[in-house]
Amino acid sequence: MAKTLVITGATKGIGKACAYRFAKEGVNIAFTYNSNEEFAKEIALDLEAKFGIKARYYPYNILEPETAKDLFLQIDEDFDSVDYFISNAMIYGRAVVGGYNKFMKLKPRGLNNIYIATVDAFVCGAQEAAKRMEKVGGGAIVSLSSTGNLVYIENYAGHGTNKAAVEAMVRYAATELGEKGIRVNAVSGGPIETDALRAFTNYEEVAAQTAALSPLGRMGQPDDISGACWFLCNEEAGWITGATLIVDGGTTFKK
């Protein structure tokens, strides 16, 4: 029986790359979108046509993570199992006003929204996924993180702090879910060329600095992260849990 990946926020960037990477391996895909249903439909149809797997899409607002319970009930109707879960979706733009700024200009509302979308969304999604993974003898959970919790990035204090928090939550989840055969890890990416990064006010500067810092001489791409997520979910990573895999093109060390 084909396995199923549940991933939040897979209409673009890293999430979309993960959906295509797992589908390429014959994995069914259940993914969420925030606002663009037509685009989600196009991706689902393309995944099914290219890889012969089953793909379904669901609306989900990560600022309301408690609705993960309803989301997974919908997924239950379409799929026989949940074998992998990737907590990927993130917020930017108006929702992070007060959270994406210099330290002295940070505001609780923006910081709280980032926490909800990063840590709470991981917890609620992983809890629902784990209930289903236990029924099939185990599974793998991955949270996306960022090296912005290890090195200074201008205006990134809110995001960086919450990425550190979600990595700690991953370790706790891994410790408690291991007896159920569920592995939990994080993938911490350096600056990756996505819409979220382009939303940075100093995107061009970040892109140029990243390419200059990396011994590999280029920016990170979504496929660089999706490959790491696939590795952590498959059997070759069977004894890896509670870990954070840094995928940064060597940039963090050179900082």
Catalytic residues: 156, 163
In terms of Cβ atoms closer than 10 Å to its own Cβ (0-12, 13-18, 19+), residue 88 is buried
Determine the Cα angle at 152 with ends 193 and 65, to 5°.
65
Span between the terminal Cα atoms of the chain, in Å: 46
Report yes or no: 252 and 151 within 8 Å, Cβ to Cβ.
yes
Cα(154)–Cα(206) distance, rounded to whole angstroms? Answer: 9
* CB-side neighbour CA atoms (13 Å) of 121: 28
For the beta carbon of residue 96, count every other beta carbon within 10 angstroms.
Answer: 21
Cα(111)–Cα(39) distance, rounded to whole angstroms? Answer: 29
Cα dihedral 233, 239, 242, 245 sign: negative
Q: In what order do the strands lie in the sheet with 4-7?
A: 55-59, 28-33, 4-7, 84-87, 139-146, 182-189, 244-247
Q: How far is CA 122 from the centre of its chain?
A: 9
Residue indicated by tokens 């991933």: 7
